[in-house]
Amino acid sequence: MNMFHFKFMLVLLFFTIKSRGQQMYVGNLVLDCDNTDVTGPSPAFLYTCNGMQPSCSSFLIFRTQPLYNTVMTISNLMSIDHTSLAHINNITDSNKILPLNKELIIPVTCSCSGEYYQANTSFVIPTDDDTYYTIANYTYQGLTTCSSLLRRNVYDPLNLHPGQKLQVPLRCACPTVSQTTEGTKYLLTYLITWKDSIKKISKRFKVQSQDLALANGFSSVDDDNIYPFTTLLVPLSTEPSKSMTRTLGQKSSLSKKYIIAGTITGTFTAVLFILFVSYLWWKSNRANRGKNVKWALPKDIKLGIASVDQQLKVHKFEEIEEATDGFSLQNRLSASVYKGNLKGKTVVIKQMGAKAAKEVKILQKFNHFNIIGLYGVCEHDRACYLVYEFMENGSLKEWLEDKNKTSHESQTWTNRIRIGLDIAKGLQYLHNFASPAYVHKDINSSNILLSKALRAKISKFGLARLSDKDQNGNSSIKCPSESKGYLAPEYLETGFVTTKTDVYAFGVVLLELVTGRKAVYVNDDDGEEVMLSEEVLSIFGDEKHATDKVNYLIDPRLQARHPLGFVIDQDELALRMIRLAIACLEPEPSRRLCMNEIVSTLMRIQIDAPSSETMLMV
């Protein structure tokens, strides 16, 4: 059956179900970002307006996850009153951190808007990694759809940036005439998880299996080909209660208790039995996971795996899934980034959007110590997963902002200078030795990653461009908000990009290393936003008095004492670093240093810098 006939049958089935007054379950089609409803309203967007009332009280199930694990954070995410959320879930402390994967009942007002029911909320994009797909299926856990987000918002799906505010329609519905006649007062939107079935769900919510099946367009309770990350409507005669919710993963912890108890009592047979059952459960779970899940990306984003160089490993989806423990929340680092273990090696696995093909095309050509390593790729159901080396100390931005660090490593000039030199060498390679040469175009402290040994590597090449091409043309001036404070004046004015664009951004990073401040920070005295580069340039506009203000600029953590007790004067070292940064920040691109000169200067500063092993930091 081709796609046209399949969609025709879905539309026909929809109208058949609508005539019976129920909603229709369309499975993994809701995960597709390219759905259309030109022939009529489609449940692949949201649930259709077929109820007796245009507005009603409704309920959703949401599972706690990092960032959204208190009543306050979840109520903000859903735009509901936190007292109502706390009351229905019997929670007394709205700021208490709840267990991971704990189900909460979300009370909402569901209203008909056009042809679809929805509960409205809004969401401010937090990171550059977020997409309509990840927001719908990770942040909101399938309680909205990629297609409905695309329709409700004006932002280009390939140019989503932190700070943009999205309108989010949540999946909900009101009871039909027939459901109301049979005693249904509420419909609850339930997110399906592994091993769920109509019979299991109906038992947990104390409803008839036939009613649950009919509410979702199934002809019988045995016809329940349902998939994780999609939703079902549960018809309820009374408001849902806390007793209907659960915390996923509790069974696993109970099994461990039994194993420990069996070991203590020495019941060898019981231990063997538990291990055997656990093995069967693991084997069955592994076989089921990944079988039903569909990942969706726009049709024009296809990664040509066949074009990948032989040294880049092509992984099976099962390997990726096993490495991340089924993409568990415990392994999740951000919206679509997971820590994993592939054959004993710790890696980072990232689900990529539009920039995946470009990232692979660029990184597979590079082999340099100061460029992040791309180990492998995976293509599964039109989604792309990239496998990177794991950097234990996270981003340079996070490392510098952690003011609580008291370890010796964060307080030495030796480490700061070496990090700067590592970044410079990475850019030197991109500009002069890579074939072809590239401009990174998005150098900032968030895109510099640090290893366990505090060696720096440049990451995120989604905006990179060929150097030769950039010399002769302009670039789009759309950049992630994280780049604020790093963008060269000629880029802001005209969109013009050259290797000197990277040099300017590097100058700002160098200032961050010296001062420990953000590229854009808020002044404690007046609350005004300060551009670090502008502040330093204004101070050093008068070189005569600039040296008197060096101590004001130096990160206090870099103040050092000699073992005999006196303060070591490091003004000259700081001045050399700041002057190098200023040379990178020249308004005229042609007057800025090139990366070869920067590397050479930093190497001389590194040689002259006092050894951190001879200092005792205050």
**Annotated catalytic sites, by residue?**
442
Lookup: tokens for 170: 């949540």
HSE of 241 in the Cβ direction (CA atoms, 13 Å)?
Answer: 4
Which neighbouring-strand residues pair with 187? Answer: 235
HSE of 29 in the Cβ direction (CA atoms, 13 Å)?
Answer: 18
The dihedral sign for the CA sequence 205, 209, 213, 218: positive
**SS3 call for 346:** strand
Please give the distance of CA 577 from its chain centroid, rounded to a whole number: 34
> What's the CA gap between 469 and 551, in Å, rounded?
42
> What's the CA gap between 233 and 214, in Å, rounded?
10
Helix or strand holding residue 78 (H, E): helix 71-78
Secondary structure letter of residue 70 according to DSSP: S
Please give the distance of CA 444 from its chain centroid, rounded to a whole number: 18
What residues have CB less than 8 Å from 297, skipping those under 6 apart?
33, 133, 353, 382, 383, 384
Helix or strand holding residue 82 (H, E): helix 82-88
Q: Which of 292, 295, 291 is nearest to 383 (CA)?
A: 295
HSE of 110 in the Cβ direction (CA atoms, 13 Å)?
Answer: 31
- For residues 209, 328, 321, 314, the Cα torsion angle rounded to the nearest 10 degrees is 140
Q: What is the CA radius of gyration of the chain?
A: 28
> What's the CA gap between 73 and 71, in Å, rounded?
6
Helix or strand holding residue 521 (H, E): strand 520-522
Which neighbouring-strand residues pair with 58? Answer: 108
> What's the CA gap between 503 and 509, in Å, rounded?
10
Which neighbouring-strand residues pair with 572? Answer: none
